[in-house]
A and B are shown apart, each in its own frame.
Chain A
Amino acid sequence: MAFINLKNKVIQVKIVYYGPGRGGKTTNLEYIHRRFQDRIHAEMVTVKTHGDRTLFFDFLPFDIGLIHGYQIKVQLYTVPGQPKYNATRKLVLRGVDGIVFVADSMAVCRESNVQSLKNLQENLAAYRKSLVSVPWVLQYNKIDLAEQGIPVLSVEQLERDLNRGFGRPAFPASALKGVNVAATLKKIISLAVTSIRDELM
C-alpha cells in the first residue's frame, strides 16, 4: 500500500522494475533519468558491482505534481536480477504499488524470464500479494536485437510464456534506444495511482 500523508496531502507511489538479470531494468531507469531530467529534476541513486551489475537496487524518485490537490511522488526502483540476490528483491518489493516486469526478448532468455516471473509471484506471496492484486505491466525489452540477426522471441511467444491468464498491458521495447520506455512508465503510474484511489474508496 502506498504511503499516504493525508495531513500534508502527499501520496508516494512505489514502482518496481523486476525481471531476469541483464534484462534492461537499470537501462530503463537510466534512460528515464537521462531523457527526462530537465522535466523531472531527479537524481538517480545506483549501487553497482565492479562488473556494472546492480548490487542492491537503483532508485529514481520524482514528483508528478499536484493532482486534485494531492502531491504525487513516484519512486522507481529496480531489483538485482541475479538469482543469488533474492533477499534484496523481496525487500525491495515491500510496499510496492506497481510492477514493470522487464522480460528479455532474446531467445536464449526464455527460461530465465519464466523463472523470474515465478520468483516474483513467490516474493509477492510473502507480502500476501499476487499478480492479480498488484497492478503490473510487461515490457518485452531488446526487441530491436532482431535487426542485428540475434534470435529473439516473438511477441506472441512472450505473451504465451508470461502473460497467459493475466492479460496485462505489454510493451515491445528497446530500453537502450528508448523505444516504449516512457509508454511503459506512464501506463504503470496510471494503473498504480488509480488502484490506490480504488483502495481508498
Chain B
Amino acid sequence: MAEAMPGNALESELERRLEQLFPEEEGPERTPAPPPEADRSLLAELKKIVLSIDWEITPEAIASFIDQVRLLREALRKDRVAGVLLNMLGALGYYIQASRSQVHPWTFPVLNAVFARLEEVVALAAEPESERRRRIQPEINAYQQLRAKIAQGRQRQPVAAAKAAARTGGGGESERPLTAELLARALAELREQLLAEIRSLRLLLEAREPGR
C-alpha cells in the first residue's frame, strides 16, 4: 500500500470517494415541516374542549370535540403519526357520545393521555417518523386495552339488559319520536364512527409494521 499510494493521491482519492458516499450538500434529513399557525390554533381549540370535557361532559361539548378532531385530522392529514392519535380520539369521542354516563372509567384517562401525546408529536414534527412512532406506542397500548375492556363489558351487557327489560316489562329508551332527520344523523354518525375505526386500525397496523 505504501509504495502504491503516495500521500496526496491517497488523500484526494479517499476524499472524493467519501464525498460520493456521504454527500453533505443535501443538508439535514428531510423531515415534516413544523405545523403551521392554523394547525396550532386548531390544536389549542381542541385542548380547550378536552379540558371542558374533563370538567363536565355535555352533549354539546362531545359534539364539538368530534368536530374539532375531524378538522384537525383534515389539517394534519399528511402527518401519519398524528393521524393515529386523532383516529383514537375520534373513536373515543363517538364512544363517549354513544355511551354517555355508561363510559368505561378508563376512557377519560386514556383520552387525556392520547391528547397530551398528540400535542407532543405535533410539536416534534421535525423528528424522524420512527422516533415519533416509538413515542406513541404507550398510548396505542392503552387504547387497545381500553377497547378490550369495553368489548368485555358489552358481552356481559345483553344479559343484564334482558333482565332489566323483563323487570320493567320491556321497552327501551326511544321516548323521542324517530324522525327522518334523526335517523339520517344517526346513520351519518355511525358511518363516521366506522370509518374512524377502520382508519385507526389501518394506521395501528402500519405503526406496528412500517413498510407493510
Contacts and interface: CB of A to CB of B under 8 A. Distances in A.
Contacts of B194: none
B2 A201 contact: yes
A39 B21 CA distance: 6
Contacts of A11: 1
Contacts of A64: 14, 17-18, 21
Contact of B131 (A39, A176, A182, A190): A176
B60 interface: no
Nearest to B29: A178
Contacts of B28: 174, 177-179
A92 to B, nearest CB: 23
Interface in A177-195: 177-179, 182-183, 185-186, 189-190, 193-194
Query: Which bucket holds chain B's interface residue count?
Result: 20 to 34
Given A31-B29, A35-B29, A201-B2, A68 B128 contact: no
Contacts of B131: 176
A183 B17 CA distance: 13
A70 B1 contact: yes
A165 interface: no
A183 B23 CA distance: 9
Interface stretch (B5-13, B113-121, B140-148): B5-13
A63 to B, nearest CB: 9
A34 B22 CA distance: 12
A182 B10 contact: no
A36 interface: yes
B16 to A, nearest CB: 10
Contacts of A200: 1-2
A184 to B, nearest CB: 10
Nearest to A52: B134
Given A35-B29, A69-B4, A194 B11 contact: yes
Interface in A61-97: 64-65, 67-70, 72
Interface in B12-35: 13-15, 17-24, 28-29, 31
A92 B37 CA distance: 48
Contacts of A39: 20-22
Contact of B14 (A4, A67, A178, A182): A67
A190 B18 contact: yes
B10 A40 contact: no
Contacts of B9: 68
A197 B9 CA distance: 12
Contact of A68 (B1, B19, B22, B23): B1
A168 to B, nearest CB: 18
Interface string B125-163: 011100100000000000000000000000000000000
Contacts of A67: 5, 10, 13-14, 17
B21 A68 contact: no
Contacts of A36: 21-22
A177 B10 contact: no
A185 B17 CA distance: 13
5 contacts: A36-B22, A64-B17, A70-B1, A72-B14, A182-B23
Given A67-B5, A179-B28, 18 more contacts: A34-B29, A64-B14, A64-B18, A69-B4, A70-B4, A70-B5, A72-B14, A177-B28, A177-B29, A178-B28, A178-B29, A186-B19, A186-B22, A189-B18, A190-B14, A194-B7, A197-B10, A201-B2
Q: Top 5 nearest A-B pairs by Cβ distance?
A: A182-B22, A201-B2, A178-B29, A186-B18, A200-B2
